[in-house]
Amino acid sequence: MRAWLIVNPAAGPWDVRHELPLVQSHLEKHGWQTSLHPTTRAGEATPLARRAVEGGIDAVFAVGGDGTLNEIVNGLAGSDVVLGVLPGGTGNVWARELGLPTRSLRHPQPLVESARALVPGTIHRIDLGQANGRYFLQWAGVGLDAEVNRIMEPRTRTQKHLGAVAYVAAGVATALHMAGPRVRIWVDGKRVYRQAILIVICNSQLYGAVARIAPGAHLDDGLLDVHVFAGTGFGDALRATLGVLTGLHVRDPRHSMFQGRTIRIEPSRPLAVAVDGEPYCLTPITCQVAPRALSVLVPPSACPDLFMAPEHVNEDRAATKT
C-alpha cells in the first residue's frame, strides 16, 4: 500500500520535519510505501491531494494544522483515499477530536505518537460540510470567530508561539466593536430570524482547541448542527464565549441549536466566514452536508460517540491488514 505525507513546513509554531523519518519508519514497518510531498505556498495541498487520488494512492497523511487538513480534504472529498492526520499545527483541533497527542512536555514527538496510534487503526467513512462549495471537515463559523480569524491570519511562526493568548486578545478587540446584525437563517427550508453575534455550523463536536460546542454531533449522521448565539455587542460576545468554553451554552436561552442538511444564512450586512478556522469569504452563505464523502483513519483513543455507525469500513485496508 502507498501513502503520501503532504507536509506544510510553515504550519504551527514548531518545525516538525525532524520527526518524519521516524514516522516513515513506523509506517513502512506496517507495510506502507511512503513518500514526502512538501507544500511551498498556501492552497497547494489541494492539487497535491487530487494528484494522490489520480495516482491510486491508498492514504494521505496531513502533516500540518487544520488549515492544511482543510486543503487536503478539498482534494480527497468523494474519493476512496484514506486521510490520516499528523498534528503539526497550532490548534490541531481535528487531532484533538480524535484523541491524538499534540505537542507538550508529555508528548515531545506528537507526529510519531500519532502515527503509532493511527497505524494500526480503523477506517470510518464520514460526512463533510460544504460552504458555498468549499468542503469543511469540522465547522464553518459566521460572525465573531470568523472576524477574529480574518484579523489573525496569516501569522508568522513567532506569532503562532503565542497560541490561545493571541486569539483571546484579538477576540476581545473584535468584540468591543462588533454589533450583531439581524440574520435570516433557513434550515432545510424553514426560516428563523435572530439578531446574532456568532453562528457555527458543525460537522464535528469540537470547536477551537478545547470547546465541545456540539456535544450531540455525529460525523456520519448526514446532518449539520447549527449553533446560533444571539447578541449585539461585547457583553453578549463574552457570554457566548464563556458559555462555549464551559459547555454551559446549551442552557443559555440566547443560544439556539438546529439540525439540517441545507443551511442558508443571510445577515442584514455582510459578515466574515471561516471554514475549519481559516478565513474564507463573506456572507451570504449556503452550507450543505456531503454524506459519507471522506474516509478517515481513526485511532482507538477516539470517542465512540463521534459516530452513529459502530462498524468500520474497509478494515482489510487498515495498516495492520487485519
Q: Could you state, in order of their start, the residue ranges of all structural domains in the chain?
A: 2-119, 134-289
Within 10 A of 105 (CB to CB), how many other CB atoms are there? 5
Where is pLDDT greater, at 314 or 234? 234
Q: By the 8 A CB rule, do 148 and 244 touch?
A: no
Tens of pLDDT, residue by residue over 171-201, are 666 666 777 899 999 999 999 999 999 999 9
Tell me the CATH architecture of domain 134-289.
Sandwich (2.60)
Tens of pLDDT, residue by residue over 208-222, are 777 889 999 999 999
* CATH topology (fold) of 2-119: Rossmann fold (3.40.50)
The pLDDT score that the predictor gives to residue 190 is 97
Residue 161 has pLDDT above 80, yes or no: no
Same CATH fold assignment for domains 2-119 and 134-289: no
Query: Residue 136 to residues 127, 204, 277, 287: CA-CA distances in angstroms?
Result: 10, 10, 10, 10
